Chains A and B, each alone.
Chain A
Amino acid sequence: MTLLEGILLWSSIFILVISFLGHLAGVIFKKERPVYLSYISTLVGFVFLSGAVLTRWISTGHMPVMGTYENSLFGAWFVMLAFLFTLRYFPKGRILSLVVMPATVLILGNGIMAKAEMAPLEPPYQSTWLYVHVFFAWFAFGSYLMATAVSIIYLSKSSKANSNKGTGAVTLTPALTRLDEICLKFIMFGFITDAVMIGAGAIWAHGLWGRYWGWDPIETWSLITWLTYGINLHLRLTLGWKGKKASWLALFSFLGIIIAFFGVGFVGDVHTQIMKP
């Protein structure tokens, strides 16, 4: 990575950690002001992160979509975008920062530990379908992460007695019914974008390997995740699941995403295989 990219990236990580601590302090000490200031620092962190993404893009000459580092960088940016987009319509969703910030820092940390060498786009990645695949993958993962964050908030809020009438930290969060619906919205959006991701990946794979589905671990886990969130939707929309059990299910469903994302680096399968000189 370039010096500028490094400075921007580490600055964003530092700011996001500060933002998380601010939110935490706000919740613990039941104050609105640290939460508001943390929101401002989140915006600043996002600007720095965007700068890091842009610097990477310019210096490599391609969208940062190749390898664990670039995927983590771009993925973290998408997660932040999804979070800020949520706040645009839900100012009360700032509390979600308690889950989103650590997750973002974790994704970035995973990327930093990988090789960050600047390289041109390797032949297998030179496909328009790759962009569709990666864009929608991050939209889906971002939405699912937000759904998970909402579920965690829901579960912690509902575990407190008289939670809807509470004070302090509880007042910083939306009502339980609203949280439940927000979670459903994210799952719906994630499910649609996940479907596009899988479809685009299949068409890309056909051009690259001559088959659209190969049952490699990443493909299989993508399918598992999609089906699992499909079950979530079925249960919520047609069988009336809501509240705690629906939140627990959303929480467990995210395990598939974690395996699909973090598992990539540990699986030497055809999904990560490229023609190496």
Chain B
Amino acid sequence: MMHRLTRLLPSRRFAVYLLAIMVAFLILGTSLPDIASMTPEETGALKTSRPLLFLISNSLQIETLISSPYFLVLPALIFLSTALCTMKRLCLKTAGEGGFYREAAGETQLRYEEIFSIFSSEKWRVVREDDTLKATKGGYGFHGSVLFHLGLLVVFIAVVVSSITRFSAELLLTEGFPMKLGKDAFVKIYKNRWLSEVPSSVVELKRFVPSYEKGKFAKDFSAELSIDGARKDVHVNKPADMGGFQLSLHRFGFAPSFKVTDEKGREVLNATVNLVVVGGKEDSFLIPNTPYLIYTEFFPDFFYDNGRFGSRSIVPKNPVFLLRMTSNGRELGRNFVRLGDTVDIGGLYIKFDALNYWVDLIVGRDYGLWIFAAGFGMGVLGLALRFVFPDKQMEISITGNKALIKGWTKYFPDFFEEEIRRIVEKLQNQRLS
């Protein structure tokens, strides 16, 4: 049994089967309905109408699949198979058996020295051994193959390191509101295994600066942060460092300040609310201790013209909110409010006091990234060594005026045959000239 297993695991056929099964699972995982992105109603409908599909989708969708211990057996076996195969190669010092033999003969009057220079000019490494010339090209196939497989193993190690040490969380900051970091400061913690202790820094979004072109294209988004008093700028694609943790600018939104008073002048709300209204979306906020829910729609560059209204551009030059007040699902009133103005809706006076921004930062640390990159680099280098410079050998012997070329190539025998024939022709033509 053990003997069979040690033969099976490093075998290439077994590796192909494992890869094929993995591909099949991944295809299934991406093709089935994505339960995670469904609303509870949609999930319920699928569960009732097609229970089997629901069950399969639920257990095989990609996020569930990749963390399932049953599925993880596959990459573990691939790792084991690759490791054993690489060790076997290293022990036997072979990049796999096989290759192709071809030969061609022709007449020539050239001497060894002249043939030597012909081969050298075509980038062959040539040595003379008695009455034969030995020419080689490539010769890195073994190293390339080993490097590629080692690279794959390093990538596997990187994935394991990442899954053990990775920290990833979302941090929401509103302009002017400092936040002391800790586990409770995050909106959501995606990954937090070992080795991740978030520094207890005080982080504040000092300023968010969006930059636009022609009033409709985003050019740059930059968040000016203060981390324990020190200034750090984060741009999209240009993360900042915070004690070994990466801060990536992920999303932003508007955070207007509203002051709400009732008919008697009593203040019922004075707050900054983080709204998701970018791109014309509607968002809402609740007035505490009241049944009032206020829906908001944002017009960054408002215009009103004969009953038509909208935003001229995406740049907040003339910010206006359309507020719609509801109570228990019944609309009490609606009105536009410009920055600095106060409006009366359903008996409440709402002042649009200030317009700030909020940002959503991804706070992350991943020791696996550079191991992953190194593994990929090794893999690519290995592939290049193996495939771009394939191993070829030729033995040229001359008897009288007859030249015989015996060649071996790792790949592409048909091309190689043509190459040998071309060289033979060259030897003959040289004689003619």
- Asked whether any CB of chain A lies closer than 8 Å to the CB of B72, the reply is no
- Assess the B364–A210 pair: CB atoms within 8 A: yes
- Assess the B372–A202 pair: CB atoms within 8 A: yes
List A232-248 residues whose CB lies under 8 Å from chain B: 234-235, 237-240
CA distance in complex: A184, B387 (Å): 10
Q: How would residues 241 to 277 of chain A score, 1 for a CB under 8 Å from any chain B CB and 0 otherwise?
A: 0000000000000000000000000000000000111
Range of interface residues on chain B? 35 or more
Stretch of B118-126, B209-217, B282-290, B317-325 contacting A (4+ beta carbons < 8 Å): B209-217
CA distance in complex: A181, B417 (Å): 12
- Assess the A277–B210 pair: CB atoms within 8 A: yes
> Are A208 and B411 CB-contacts (below 8 A) given A120-B219, A192-B387, A195-B383?
no
Collect the chain B residues with CB atoms within 8 Å of residue A211's CB: 166, 168, 362, 364, 366
- Asked whether any CB of chain A lies closer than 8 Å to the CB of B30, the reply is yes
> Are A122 and B380 CB-contacts (below 8 A) given A209-B362, A277-B278?
no
Q: How far is the CB of B221 from chain A (nearest CB, A)?
A: 5
Collect the chain A residues with CB atoms within 8 Å of residue B210's CB: 277
Give the residue of B168, B368, B387, B415 whose beta carbon is less than 8 angstroms from that of A210.
Answer: B168
- Assess the A276–B218 pair: CB atoms within 8 A: yes
- Assess the A178–B20 pair: CB atoms within 8 A: no
- Assess the A209–B248 pair: CB atoms within 8 A: yes
CA distance in complex: A239, B17 (Å): 12
- Assess the A227–B19 pair: CB atoms within 8 A: yes
> Are A181 and B415 CB-contacts (below 8 A) given A123-B219, A227-B23, A234-B16?
yes
Collect the chain A residues with CB atoms within 8 Å of residue B66's CB: 215
Give the residue of B12, B278, B364 whose beta carbon is less than 8 angstroms from that of A276.
Answer: B278
Closest to B13 in A: A239
> Are A231 and B239 CB-contacts (below 8 A) given A120-B213, A181-B412?
no
Closest to A224 in B: B26
List A164-212 residues whose CB lies under 8 Å from chain B: 175, 177-178, 180-181, 184-185, 188-189, 191-192, 195-196, 198-199, 202-203, 206-212
Collect the chain A residues with CB atoms within 8 Å of residue B411's CB: 181, 184, 237
Closest to B152 in A: A230
Stretch of B52-60, B178-186, B230-238 contacting A (4+ beta carbons < 8 Å): B230-238
Q: How would residues 88 to 122 of chain A score, 1 for a CB under 8 Å from any chain B CB and 0 otherwise?
A: 00000000000000000000000000000001101
- Assess the A207–B248 pair: CB atoms within 8 A: yes
Collect the chain B residues with CB atoms within 8 Å of residue A238's CB: 12, 96, 98
- Asked whether any CB of chain A lies closer than 8 Å to the CB of B251, the reply is yes
List B12-33 residues whose CB lies under 8 Å from chain A: 12-13, 15-16, 19-20, 22-23, 26-27, 29-30
- Assess the B250–A209 pair: CB atoms within 8 A: yes
Give the residue of A185, A224, A230, A237 whose beta carbon is less than 8 angstroms from that of B27.
Answer: A224
Q: How would residues 197 to 224 of chain B score, 1 for a CB under 8 Å from any chain A CB and 0 otherwise?
A: 0000000000000101100011111000
Collect the chain A residues with CB atoms within 8 Å of residue B246's CB: 206, 210
- Assess the A231–B96 pair: CB atoms within 8 A: no
List B306-361 residues whose CB lies under 8 Å from chain A: 314
- Asked whether any CB of chain A lies closer than 8 Å to the CB of B256, the reply is no
Number of A-B contacts (CB under 8 A): 147
- Assess the A210–B251 pair: CB atoms within 8 A: no
Collect the chain A residues with CB atoms within 8 Å of residue B62's CB: 215, 217, 220
Collect the chain B residues with CB atoms within 8 Å of residue A25's CB: none
- Assess the A210–B20 pair: CB atoms within 8 A: no
- Asked whether any CB of chain B lies closer than 8 Å to the CB of A2, the reply is no
- Assess the B372–A212 pair: CB atoms within 8 A: yes
CA distance in complex: A3, B384 (Å): 43
> Are A275 and B217 CB-contacts (below 8 A) given A199-B376, A224-B27?
no
- Assess the B376–A198 pair: CB atoms within 8 A: yes
> Are A192 and B27 CB-contacts (below 8 A) given A181-B415, A207-B237, A212-B366?
no
CA distance in complex: A56, B163 (Å): 42
Q: How would residues 152 to 167 of chain B score, 1 for a CB under 8 Å from any chain A CB and 0 otherwise?
A: 0000000100100010
- Asked whether any CB of chain B lies closer than 8 Å to the CB of A228, the reply is yes
> Are A228 and B23 CB-contacts (below 8 A) given A210-B363, A275-B252?
yes
CA distance in complex: A239, B30 (Å): 29
- Asked whether any CB of chain B lies closer than 8 Å to the CB of A127, the reply is yes
Collect the chain A residues with CB atoms within 8 Å of residue B217's CB: 119-120, 122
Q: How would residues 236 to 257 of chain B score, 1 for a CB under 8 Å from any chain A CB and 0 otherwise?
A: 1111000000101111100000
- Assess the B237–A195 pair: CB atoms within 8 A: no
CA distance in complex: A123, B366 (Å): 23
Q: How far is the CB of B67 from chain A (nearest CB, A)?
A: 10
- Assess the B236–A126 pair: CB atoms within 8 A: yes
Give the residue of B159, B248, B379 whose beta carbon is less than 8 angstroms from that of A208.
Answer: B248
- Asked whether any CB of chain B lies closer than 8 Å to the CB of A124, the reply is yes
- Assess the B248–A277 pair: CB atoms within 8 A: no
Closest to A204 in B: B237
Collect the chain A residues with CB atoms within 8 Å of residue B252's CB: 275
Collect the chain A residues with CB atoms within 8 Å of residue B363's CB: 210
- Assess the A231–B387 pair: CB atoms within 8 A: no
- Assess the A275–B380 pair: CB atoms within 8 A: no
- Asked whether any CB of chain A lies closer than 8 Å to the CB of B414, the reply is yes
Give the residue of A178, A206, A212, A217 whose beta carbon is less than 8 angstroms from that of B30.
Answer: A217
CA distance in complex: A175, B417 (Å): 13
> Are A202 and B16 CB-contacts (below 8 A) given A126-B237, A181-B412?
no
- Asked whether any CB of chain A lies closer than 8 Å to the CB of B369, the reply is yes
Closest to A179 in B: B414
- Assess the B212–A203 pair: CB atoms within 8 A: no
Q: How far is the CB of B399 from chain A (nearest CB, A)?
A: 30
Q: How far is the CB of B183 from chain A (nearest CB, A)?
A: 18
> Are A231 and B279 CB-contacts (below 8 A) given A178-B414, A181-B415, A239-B12?
no
21 A–B pairs (Cβ distance < 8 Å), ordered by A: A122-B217, A123-B221, A126-B236, A126-B237, A175-B414, A178-B415, A180-B414, A181-B415, A188-B383, A192-B383, A199-B377, A203-B369, A206-B246, A211-B366, A213-B159, A215-B62, A215-B66, A217-B62, A237-B96, A238-B96, A238-B98
Give the 4 A-B residue pairs with the shortest CB-CB distance, closest first.
A210-B364, A123-B236, A199-B376, A210-B362
A residues sitting closer than 8 Å to B (CB atoms) are 119-120, 122-124, 126-127, 175, 177-178, 180-181, 184-185, 188-189, 191-192, 195-196, 198-199, 202-203, 206-213, 215, 217, 220-221, 223-224, 227-228, 230-231, 234-235, 237-240, 275-277
Q: A212-B369, A238-B96, A277-B212 are in contact. List 8 more A-B contacts (CB 8 A).
A: A126-B220, A181-B413, A184-B412, A206-B366, A210-B248, A220-B62, A230-B19, A239-B13
